[in-house]
Amino acid sequence: YKFSYQGRYSSVYRPRTKIPYGVVHYDDQMYLFFIPTLAPYFKPEDPETKIVERQTKMWANFIQTGNPTPQKSDLFENVIWQQLTPENLAYLDIGSDMEMKEGLYKERMAVWQRLFPLTTFP
């Protein structure tokens, strides 16, 4: 998956700049765990609350059933997280909305494939 939700808080703090840094590795953790050094406790009316509910439900589903989205629901915007296979390289983009997409970092992966070819790569 790719976590692309850019909320009001991030694990990267850039003082004295108005340039958005974007979503970084570890930003998804503040929506799974309360990390007071990164973000406050979210109130029900905060936009981040929906992300917290969605993230925690997906991980709880995965722990209980092995499937993060076992059925369509409004919380998941009726998206089913498709299983990754050699024939289906789709990934779930988790942003303000959820969407199955194709070709995660396609150009970057093509460089690595040229440098270090995998015989089992589709």
pLDDT in tens, 107-119: 998 999 899 987 7
Picking from 102, 111, 97, the residue whose alpha carbon sits closest to that of residue 84 is 102
- The Cα-based distances of 29 to 11, 38, 52, 122 in angstroms read 9, 10, 10, 32
> What is the arithmetic mean of pLDDT over 70-98?
93
Which pLDDT tens digit goes with each residue over 25-74?
Answer: 889 999 999 988 888 999 999 999 999 999 999 999 999 999 999 999 99
CB neighbour list of residue 107: distance below 8 Å, 6 or more residues apart? none
